[in-house]
């Protein structure tokens, strides 16, 4: 069995930063127009008036201040509220592959590797733009990687599930080095007309290069000490979009074909699940939580992360122990915890430990214990 290290990480940040204020202005314009258009029905009680959103609420309830989007113009157009991402021809690099190639290039450069050193590519994310051919195989071709590639989907936990798969492949010798890529275009699956959730998500793509420890030469190496994954079925975060939709001609209600959640229930159920998962994972490896230098947690909600860190540490985590990136990026699904890792690991001292943890729909939770080499 080979020891495995993360030798490089990468981050593609979309060009359009959208503040809560801009998002709320578009939403509130939509609400005003809706209420004006339907004034008579609202007045006689046939229709409920819609209520404005608020930037203050968003920051207080979630910790999110802004997000990056692949397209802002379509989202901020109160008549549209859907990103404008024109289809590309089959001969052009598809948009998720383009994001993944950009992030992968950074991870390879950080690791001091080229495509010739890699022989497996995993694209792991919540929403894939098509069923086939796999986006990962398109990325493999774009980067000129020999070997094999496949796509995975475990919602927000896709990154840690991908990292475990990559670790196993390297440890057992079926791959020398693996790219795990998380291209998330959450904005295309978000209902920007829904007051409860219009602010939650952003777009981004992360990349992690894993390889055999014995031959890794990068300046910053994180040894994969152990991975632990768990899933428990729940309908509290659900998206019914899928190929069977076209077989139901009577279904004209598209709202459940987008992201839908019971946010309060998710909060209450997922926090203990993740807290206990990480505590058990550390215990199984004889590691005291106090000896963990850093927690790179999934970035869905600031209070959630504070609560999980408290459950694990038995006290509040310092900002430096559990870095927050969701204020700038919002929830970028599987990319979130890896963005935190990408931005906050190079300062760690040799031997220090960290835990990368993602959690979300499924429910699913994954944790990866890492040691700075
Ligand atoms: N503006 C102003 N007020 C609002 C707004 C708004 N936009 N929205 C709600 N309110 C009001 C409500 O009306 C309510 O008022 P009242 O008390 O008078 O009834 C009050 O605020 C409280 O409402 P909530 O109970 O809904 O608010 P919460 O405090 O629970 O906060 C959150 C809402 C932020 C959504 C919170 O519940 C949360 O973060 N929960 C966890 C969410 C989570 O982690 N989800 C995971 C999803 S990610 C995943 O795994 C799926 C990935 C798939 C990617 C898909 C891409 C799209």
Asked if the structure places residue 229 within a domain, the reply is yes
- d(CA 361, CA 359) in angstroms, rounded, equals 7
Instruction: Write phi, then psi, for 302 (nearest 5 degrees).
Output: -60, -45
In the numeric block, which tokens belong to residue 75?
């989202």
Q: Is 28 in the pocket of ligand 1 (CB under 6 A)?
A: no
* pLDDT at 247 exceeding the cut of 90: no
Asked if the structure places residue 60 within a domain, the reply is no
Asked if the structure places residue 145 within a domain, the reply is no
* pLDDT at 255 exceeding the cut of 90: no
Is 156 labeled as catalytic in the residue annotation?
A: yes
Asked if the structure places residue 252 within a domain, the reply is yes
**Which atom of ligand 1 is closest in space to residue 360's alpha carbon?**
50
What is the CATH number for 243?
Answer: 3.40.47.10
For the residues 6-16, what does the mean pLDDT come to? 98
CB 8 within 8 A of CB 59: no
Q: How confident is the model at residue 253 (pLDDT cuts 50, 70, 90)?
A: low
What's 331's DSSP letter? Answer: B
pLDDT in tens, 70-81: 999 999 999 999
Cα 305 to ligand 1 centre (Å):
15
Q: Is 204 in the pocket of ligand 1 (CB under 6 A)?
A: no
Asked if the structure places residue 205 within a domain, the reply is no
Q: Is 88 in the pocket of ligand 1 (CB under 6 A)?
A: no
Asked if the structure places residue 216 within a domain, the reply is no
* pLDDT at 332 exceeding the cut of 90: yes
Q: How confident is the model at residue 252 (pLDDT cuts 50, 70, 90)?
A: low
How high is the pLDDT of residue 362? 96
For the residues 328-356, what does the mean pLDDT come to? 98
pLDDT in tens, 122-178: 999 999 999 999 999 999 999 999 999 999 999 999 999 999 999 999 999 999 999
Mutate to test the pocket of ligand 1, among 30, 81, 197, 263 (most ligand atoms within 8 A of CB): 263
Asked if the structure places residue 242 within a domain, the reply is yes
Q: Is 265 in the pocket of ligand 1 (CB under 6 A)?
A: no
Q: Is 359 in the pocket of ligand 1 (CB under 6 A)?
A: no
For the residues 28-37, what does the mean pLDDT come to? 98
User: Atom 50 in ligand 1: which residue has the minimum CA distance?
Assistant: 360
Q: Which residues of 282-293 are buried (b: 16+ CB within 10 A; e: fewer)?
A: beeeebebeebb
Number of domains forming the structure of the chain: 1
Beta bridge partners of 297: 357
How high is the pLDDT of residue 229? 98
Domain of 233, in residue numbers: 222-372
């Amino acid at each position: 069995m080979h020891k495995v290290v993360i030798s490089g990480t990468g981050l593609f940040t979309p060009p359009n930063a959208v503040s809560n204020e801009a998002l709320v202005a578009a939403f509130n314009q939509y609400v005003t127009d809706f209420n004006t258009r339907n004034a008579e029905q609202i007045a006689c009680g046939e229709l409920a008036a819609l209520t404005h959103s608020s930037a203050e609420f968003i920051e207080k309830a979630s910790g999110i201040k802004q997000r990056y989007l692949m397209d802002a113009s379509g989202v901020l157009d109160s008549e549209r509220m859907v990103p404008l991402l024109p289809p590309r021809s089959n001969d052009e690099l598809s948009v998720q592959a383009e994001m993944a190639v950009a992030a992968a290039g950074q991870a390879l450069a950080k690791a001091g590797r080229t495509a010739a050193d890699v022989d497996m590519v995993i694209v792991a994310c919540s929403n894939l733009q098509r069923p086939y051919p796999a986006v990962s195989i398109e990325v493999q071709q774009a980067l000129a990687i020999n070997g094999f590639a496949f796509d995975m989907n475990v919602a927000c936990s896709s990154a840690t599930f991908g990292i475990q798969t990559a670790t196993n492949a390297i440890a057992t010798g079926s791959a020398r080095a693996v790219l795990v890529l998380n291209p998330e275009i959450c904005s295309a699956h978000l209902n920007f007309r829904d007051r409860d959730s219009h602010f939650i998500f952003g777009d981004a793509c992360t990349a992690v290069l894993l390889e055999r420890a014995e031959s890794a030469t990068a300046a910053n190496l994180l040894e994969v000490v152990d991975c632990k994954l768990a899933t428990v079925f729940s309908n509290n975060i659900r998206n019914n979009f899928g190929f069977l939709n076209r077989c139901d001609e009577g279904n004209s209600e598209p709202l459940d074909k987008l992201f839908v959640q019971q946010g309060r229930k998710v909060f209450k159920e997922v926090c203990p699940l993740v807290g206990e998962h990480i505590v058990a994972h550390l215990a199984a490896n004889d590691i005291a939580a106090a000896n963990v230098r850093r927690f790179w947690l999934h970035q869905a909600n600031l209070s959630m992360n504070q609560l999980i860190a408290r459950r694990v540490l038995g006290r509040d985590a310092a900002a430096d122990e559990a870095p927050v990136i969701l204020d700038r990026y919002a929830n970028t699904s599987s990319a979130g915890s890896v963005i935190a890792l990408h931005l906050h690991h190079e300062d760690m001292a040799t031997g220090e430990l960290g835990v990368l943890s993602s959690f979300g729909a499924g429910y699913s939770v994954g944790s990866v214990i890492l040691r700075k080499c």
